[in-house]
Structure 1
Amino acid sequence: MTILRTPAARFDKLPDYPFAPHYLNVGEDLHMHYVAEGNVDALPVLLLHGEPTWSYLYRKMIPILVEAGYRVVAPDLIGFGKSDKIAEAEAYSYQKHIDWLTSFVQQLDLQQITLVCQDWGGLLGLRLAAENESRFARICAANTGLPTGDQPPSEAFLQWQTFSQTIASLPIGQLISMGCTNKLPTNVIAAYDAPFPDETYKTAARVFPKLVPTSPNDPAASANRAAWQVLMRWQKPVLTCFSDGDPITAGGDKIMQKLIPGAAGQPHITLSGGHFLQEDAGKQWAEQIVAWMGKKG
């Protein structure tokens, strides 16, 4: 297994990202980077990013949540951000990402977690919560889901999956910009490109679309069905906060509201934005989360 570590100099002077780096070994000599802001004794808010972003995505939201009195923990998934990257595609699997995140949460011994998740942050975070139910207090899900392969994927997703596997050079920053309704500044696009000096660092970003269960016999389908069995009796609060401009996950909020008991009676909202609503409406989303949870500061 070839482990790649992005040179630290590539992260110098990132716009609006003043957070000190922290690292944990999550197994196999893989170092997971994370942001940890706020009082260590405060209730934790776990921010999980997706594809092909990193914790930089949450930079607008972290200060608002900290100011409200919460401890914010935002890891970079293995293969993304300041975390280690594996060069070989076969080293990645849905289960491996779950294992790495489980190790991360256990090592920090996070309890009474509020999960905030989007994109693959939800595909992983919802599984993580279902499999570690006692550690989680509530869930806020945005532009995400927990597919089992029992329902056909959207045409928009299939197009993205094909694109990700066939394009010679994956334009990370441009892809994120295309997934927003607001035009991203050049230096922000560069910040999303920073973790990937060349194509060898982008293996995880290329593999993720292939790991989404699209058929009932997918390797992750059974475990995701088991997670849904937990979620379908989940009584803790669940808030959906989807955007109005994401063709890939449109309608996923209605599924969660229908199937998860804890979603009943919650102040579900729709924000104006694209797939990456952290960029388009990050401040508004964070304020909605604080209003929902209650300010502690």
Structure 2
Amino acid sequence: MRILRTDEARFAGLPDYPFAPHYLNVAPNLRMHYVDEGPGNASPVLMLHGEPSWSYLYRRMIPLVADSGHRVLAPDLIGFGKSDKPASVEDYSYDRHMAWLTSWLEALNLENITLVCQNWGSLLGLRLAAAHPQRFSRIIVGNGMLPTGENRVPAVFTLWKAFATHSPWFPVGRIVQLGTERTLSKCELAAYEAPFPSPEYKAGARAFPKLVPVSGTDPSSEANKAAWRVLETWKKPFITCFSNGDPITRGGDRYMQRRIPGAHGQPHITLRGGHFLQEDSPEDFARIINDALKGERAA
């Protein structure tokens, strides 16, 4: 496996991203970057990004939650952000992503976690919580799901998958803009492109759409069904925080509210915005997290 590492200079001076870098090896010669802000002895809030973003997506939420007395951790998935990037699309699989993230979680020995996840952060995070339920105290999902291949996928996802697989042009900043209602600045668009100095760095971003299970025969379908069997017994708080303008995950919030016991009676909310609600409604999203964590601060 050939590993690429983005030069740190590409991340210099990013707007609203003053966070000190932290690194951890999650496999031999494979380094994962993460943000770690707020009191180190507070219960962790784990913010998982998706496709094709990185921890920069949460930049406006991290200080709001950390300043409320919580420890916020936002890793860059392997292939994204400041984390290392295997150079071939074939280097990425759902199981490998799970193994890398699990290695990071166990190395930090995180417990009493509040999971905040969106997009592929949900596909990985919900699996992670189901595999390690003793480490998680609550889950907050925004514009995300855990598909098993049993339900029909939206036509827009089929088009996105074809584009990611076959298009010679893969403009990450513009892709994020398409999923965001507000207009991103030139500096923000450049920040989303920063991890990818050339096309070969984008293998992980191109790989993700093909890894979503769209039929019951997909390699990850059975593992996701097993995770759902755990989630169907999940009685700890489970909160959905979807946006009103996402054609990909629309309706997933109600589906999870019906199936997951911990969702009953929770303050589910719909926020304004597109797929990347962290860009469109960061203050409201952060407030939902802080409200859910009232009473849980560093001793």
User: TM-score normalized by structure 2?
Assistant: 0.98
Identity %: 57
Offset, 1:168: 0.6
Offset, 1:156: 1.2
Take 1:142 and 1:255, find their aligned partners in 2: how far apart are those partners? 13
User: Are 2:48 and 1:48 equivalent residues in the alignment?
Assistant: yes
2:115 match: 115
User: Are 2:81 and 1:78 equivalent residues in the alignment?
Assistant: no
The residue type equivalent to 1:10 in the other structure is R
SS at 1:130 equivalent: helix
Take 1:152 and 1:36, find their aligned partners in 2: how far apart are those partners? 38
1:30 match: 30
1:200-222 C-alpha deviation (Å, 9 max, x unpaired): 00000000000000010100000
Offset, 1:127: 0.1
Take 2:85 and 2:247, find their aligned partners in 1: how far apart are those partners? 29
Number of equivalenced pairs: 297
Offset, 1:15: 0.3
1:138 match: 138
Offset, 1:28: 2.9
Offset, 1:29: 1.4
Take 2:106 and 2:231, find their aligned partners in 1: how far apart are those partners? 21
Take 1:40 and 1:285, find their aligned partners in 2: how far apart are those partners? 22
1:179-219 C-alpha deviation (Å, 9 max, x unpaired): 10101001000000000001000000000000000010100
Take 2:61 and 2:233, find their aligned partners in 1: how far apart are those partners? 30
The residue type equivalent to 1:220 in the other structure is S
1:281 match: 281
Take 1:211 and 1:263, find their aligned partners in 2: how far apart are those partners? 27
The residue type equivalent to 1:100 in the other structure is W
**Any unmatched runs of 5+ in structure 1?**
none
Take 2:6 and 2:61, find their aligned partners in 1: how far apart are those partners? 25
Offset, 1:292: 2.1
1:12-51 C-alpha deviation (Å, 9 max, x unpaired): 0000000000000001311000000011110100000000
User: TM-score normalized by structure 1?
Assistant: 0.99
SS at 2:174 equivalent: helix
Offset, 1:150: 1.0
Give the superposed CA RMSD.
0.8
Take 1:264 and 1:18, find their aligned partners in 2: how far apart are those partners? 38
1:136-158 C-alpha deviation (Å, 9 max, x unpaired): 00000010000001112111111
SS at 2:281 equivalent: helix
The residue type equivalent to 1:171 in the other structure is P
Offset, 1:254: 0.4
Take 1:159 and 1:89, find their aligned partners in 2: how far apart are those partners? 19
Take 1:152 and 1:28, find their aligned partners in 2: how far apart are those partners? 38
1:2 match: 2
1:160-187 C-alpha deviation (Å, 9 max, x unpaired): 1111112112000010011101010010
5 Å matches for 1:228-243? Answer: 228-243=228-243
Take 1:88 and 1:200, find their aligned partners in 2: how far apart are those partners? 8
Take 1:292 and 1:40, find their aligned partners in 2: how far apart are those partners? 19
The residue type equivalent to 2:288 in the other structure is Q
The residue type equivalent to 2:45 in the other structure is V
1:189 match: 189
SS at 1:56 equivalent: helix
SS at 2:217 equivalent: coil
Take 2:29 and 2:222, find their aligned partners in 1: how far apart are those partners? 28
1:224 match: 224
Take 2:165 and 2:73, find their aligned partners in 1: how far apart are those partners? 31
1:152 match: 152
User: Are 2:252 and 1:252 equivalent residues in the alignment?
Assistant: yes
5 Å matches for 1:166-177? Answer: 166-177=166-177
1:37-70 C-alpha deviation (Å, 9 max, x unpaired): 0111101000000000000000000011111110
Offset, 1:241: 0.1
The residue type equivalent to 1:112 in the other structure is N
